[in-house]
Amino acid sequence: MIRLQVDQKVVAQRLLFYSFELELQKGELLCLLGPSGCGKTTLLNMIAGLDNNFDGLLQQDVSAADDQNGVEVGEGAMTVGKQPSKQQDRQPQAISYMFQQPRLLPWRTVRQNLQLVIDADRYHRIEPLLASMGLAGSAELYPSALSVGMERRVALARSLIVDPQLILMDEPFVSLDPPTATEMRQQVRRIRQQRPDTSILFVTHDLREAISLADRILILGGDPTRVLHQWHSEVLPEQRDHHYVAAQERLLLDHYQRRDCDWSEAAADVGRGAAVPVV
Amino acid sequence: MKTSEPLIRRCRSLESPISTANSCSSVSNPPGDLTMAGAASAGSRPRVFRLLAMLSPQPLVLLLILLLWQLLSMLLQQRLLPSPEQVAATLWQHFQSGELLYHLGATLARVGVSFTLSMLLGVVIGIAMGRSWQLNRWLDPLLVLLLNLPALVTIILLYIWLGMSELAAVLAVVINKVPNVVVALREGTRSLDPHYQELASIYRLSRWTRLRDVLLPQLAPYLLISARTGLALIWKIVLVVELLGRSEGVGFQLHLAFQMFDVAAILAYSLAFIAIVQAIEWLVLQPLEQRQRKWRRQSQTYRHQAESQPGTHSKQHLADSLSKERQSDSQLNKKQATPL
């Protein structure tokens, strides 16, 4: 569904990515794990179009339209592919982004924050969406009156209300207390059941969170950053119990921690970006 | 809002670092510690002070000043300081002859025009300088120069170069005010949060929405502060401009009164003008500021409401759900089979 190919990306005079590829299927939840500074957020920003300063190619809807939607990026200049797309008025949103901080506009109420990102003909969706997230009574509140958990839920609601094909989540549940984080993860699972076509690209530091949610996990690391290990599971997210998560965590932990000792060895058994043995 | 005030005060008298939100829960506390706090503050402060604190000081202060004035005028000669009564009489006299309104109108028009012009110019230049590092590098020396240029110099030079014209008058005021607005708005533009910019581009907000919902609220405090200081500065400069080279306006009248040593007229005109500026402050600027602060202040009010409403996410509700979560967590640990 979406394919990002980074030929070269330099950040702060350091070669961060070199010939790196990331592919995301329709309806898939892909987790990115890796040490801080390995470029997880940079990847999200490149996909979101916030960071166009790299050599490479970003393709959306690879299967649907035969490579016509490709966005060629190079030398900081962005040249849109062959189609001069009709991006004048607000189309159905392709990508929404849930930032690490909720980034609600503090001077707008919850309802206004949601209204901001959609057209007036979709305002009727706000009420039911808020209600489904347990925010029914909060529509007229300002963000400063919300708890941290509620703010995250509003941010999640905002990223959902635009009907995205892809949601980027950058450690969205970090610094939440465990029960609230659990509740939010439950919310994500529910969303996936309700919208099976929506893909999610999820960045996290929490291995257990990744295992309990993801269809596929990429462990990033190295210099320049590459995929050290790829994990995927046949077990449906709803059916993963504590035993399963704990067992998988032990397996993955090895790969996750290996970044501290020996990179070359870790990289040897996984090709750069290639498919790797499944746990 | 009214209920929250005594709560905050109680917090302060306890000298605890607890926030307002926490202090709300102390309402239901046994009255024991409240009376203790009350006794502590009552011991150091007599009742009179607390009564004084409840009164709004503004009318009181004005009354005191008026009294002092009356006393002084009785002590001094009539010519040096006429009594409030005489000034009021002069005011009325000028009002009835239409002179007062005519001159006030002329000054107000100048203030209005130069205020609008300097705000517009200052905002545009300030935002541009805040955005462009290069432009800032080139214009900054000029800015420093203009900031330090005495208003009087600008006025005199412009009168010499352009003649005693309305254009020269307004231009002199604008040149004096623009640098202040530029400095404030440059600061505001530099402190814009790039995160909101990213948000706007992710959700493809239109240009107008960006301006109204993202940029303007962030710049509002800076706009307000330059409007505030602007009004105060501009009307003073306008008076000087009028005194030096116009034949109508409050400044011109003050000039006349000065030549005739008519202290009553001087006081009458200044008081009238101060009253008008104060009215603008109360009727225009303060409501604007309150509107801009609404989202901060109301958040507290709403928090109170949310806590009193059952079913919403009040503190109690949150605590409940937390304890429920904890229970389910312990169950989870026992079973070891429920999803994470």
Six-digit token string for B251: 């400044």
The pLDDT confidence band at residue B180, using thresholds 50, 70 and 90, is very high
Cβ within 8 Å, pair A242-B325? no
Q: Give the Cα separation of B99 and B207 in Å (integer).
A: 48
Contacts of A49 in chain B (CB under 8 A): 201-202
pLDDT digits (tens, 9 = 90+) for A51-109: 888 888 888 764 443 334 445 554 443 433 333 343 434 445 578 999 988 899 988 99
Each residue of A124-158: pLDDT tens digit?
Answer: 989 999 998 888 888 888 888 888 889 999 999 99
> Does residue B318 belong to the interface with chain A, where contact is any CB pair within 8 Å?
yes
Does B316 contact chain A (CB < 8 Å)?
A: no
Query: What type of residue is B263?
Result: V
Q: What is the pLDDT of residues B282-328, one digit of tens each?
A: 888 888 888 877 777 554 554 444 443 433 344 444 444 444 444 44
Q: Is A155 in contact with A99 (CB distance < 8 Å)? A: yes
Mean pLDDT of B149-169: 92
- Dihedral sign for Cα A212, A216, A219, A220, please: negative
Confidence of residue A277 (pLDDT cuts 50, 70, 90): very low
Q: Which residues of A touch B318 (CB under 8 A)?
A: 147
DSSP reduced 3-state for A10: strand
Q: Is the dihedral of CA B42, B45, B50, B53 positive or negative?
A: negative
The confidence band for B61, taking pLDDT boundaries of 50, 70 and 90, is confident
Residues B231-264 have pLDDT tens digits of 888 988 999 999 998 888 899 999 999 998 888 8
Q: Please check whether residue B193 is in contact with residue A103, taking contact to mean a CB–CB distance below 8 angstroms.
A: no
Is pLDDT above 80 for B28? no
Lowest mean pLDDT among A257-261, B196-200, B219-223: A257-261
- CB A138 to CB B313 under 8 A? yes
Q: Are A171 and A100 in contact (CB under 8 A)?
A: yes
Q: Residue B104's pLDDT is what?
A: 92
**Which residue would you say has higher pLDDT here, A75 or A13?**
A13
CA dihedral A258, A264, A270, A273 (to 10 degrees): 100
Is-contact A172 A203, C-beta < 8 A? no
Mean pLDDT of chain B: 77
Subunit contact B326:A239, Cβ cutoff 8 A: no
List of residues 6+ apart from B227 with CB closer than 8 A: B119, B285
Of residues B77 and A131, more confidence is placed in A131
Q: Which of A150, A117, A145, A118 is nearest to A135 (CA)?
A: A150
For residue B7, the one-letter residue type is L
Q: Does B192 touch chain A (CB under 8 A)?
A: no
Cis-peptide, bond into residue B59, ω within 30° of zero: no
What pTM was estimated for this model as a whole? 0.69
| Separation between Cα atoms, residue A97 and residue A95, nearest integer Å | 7
Question: Cβ–Cβ of B339/A108 closer than 8 Å?
Answer: no
Close Cβ partners of B34 (under 8 Å, ≥ 6 residues apart) = B10, B26
Tracing tokens 């209005």 back to the chain, one arrives at B112
Model pLDDT, residue B242: 92
Short-list B133, B117, B129, B126, CA closest to B170: B117
pLDDT digits over A18-43, tens only? 888 898 988 899 999 888 888 888 99
> Which of A105, A166, A168 to mutate: most B Cβ within 10 Å?
A105
Structure tokens at A236: 């449906």
- In 3D space, the residue among A30, A38, A90, A93 whose CA is nearest the CA of residue A60 turns out to be A93
Cβ–Cβ < 8 Å for B239, B289:
no
Round to whole Å and give the CA distance between A273 and B140: 51
Name residue A38's amino acid. Answer: C
Contact A258, A228 (CB under 8 A): yes
Among A33, A34, A45, A62, residue whose Cα is nearest residue A9: A45
Q: Do B295 and A106 touch (CB under 8 A)?
A: yes
pLDDT tens digit string along A156-199? Answer: 999 999 888 899 999 888 888 888 888 888 889 888 888 888 99
Looking at the complex, report in whole angstroms how far the Cα of residue A263 sits from the nearest Cα belonging to chain B.
Answer: 31
Cα–Cα nearest to B185, from B224, B213, B146, B148: B224
Helices (H), chain A: 40-48, 110-117, 126-132, 148-161, 178-194, 207-213, 242-261, 263-268
**Pick from A90, A137, A245: CB nearest B309:** A137
For A105, the closest of B196, B202, B313 (CB atoms) is B196
Helix H or strand E segment including A16: strand A14-24
- Predicted pLDDT at B45: 66
Overall size of chain B counted in residues: 340
The interaxial angle of helices B166-190 and B151-162, nearest 10 deg, is 140
Residue B332 CA, chain-centre distance (Å), reads 56
- CB pair distance less than 8 Å for B203 and A116: yes
